[in-house]
Amino acid sequence: MTDILTVNANKLIYRAGDELKKQKLVQPTSWSIFVKTGHHQERLPDSPDWWYVRAGAILRSIAKLGPVGTEKLRTKYGGKKNRGHQPEHRYKASGSIIRKILQQLEKSLLIKQVARGDHKGRVLTPQGVAFMNKIATQIKAEK
């Protein structure tokens, strides 16, 4: 688990996205080519692989914050909207995208739902920890 948080986050997220795509653990939905990632965005994502990158980012967030739910992730991936002359306002990210990715990761057995005291949410399974640690050790070995 410590390897996941010590390596470069960008490299880990993009590498995890590539691995999820290769192993077909996560698949973009049919409508994902038409949507913005949140109300605060002005345009669609530029990258055709943005779904996999977001899934990798969500996996890292779960490893770091877990147990975490959809609302906390919506807040994390939200941002400020440019409203012209009006002051900027913060908006949450799309819940549907995050929910679908969480469901796909659960189906792939990389995460599971738990309740720890008052906190409910998803955490990495041992398979998920091994998946992320494998990628983190590859990144560490490259240095």
Look up the CATH number of the domain holding residue 114: 1.10.10.10
Q: Are the C-beta atoms of 135 and 5 separated by less than 8 Å?
A: no
| Tokens 């913060």 sit on residue | 90
Q: Which domain holds residue 28?
A: 2-142
β-partners of residue 91 are: 79
How many independent structural domains does the chain possess?
1
Nearest to 38 by CA among 85, 96, 109: 96
- Looking at residue 34, what is its pLDDT? 87
Q: Are the C-beta atoms of 84 and 44 separated by less than 8 Å?
A: no
Higher pLDDT, 7 or 41: 7
117 alpha-carbon distance from chain centroid: 24
Compute the average pLDDT of residues 104-133: 88
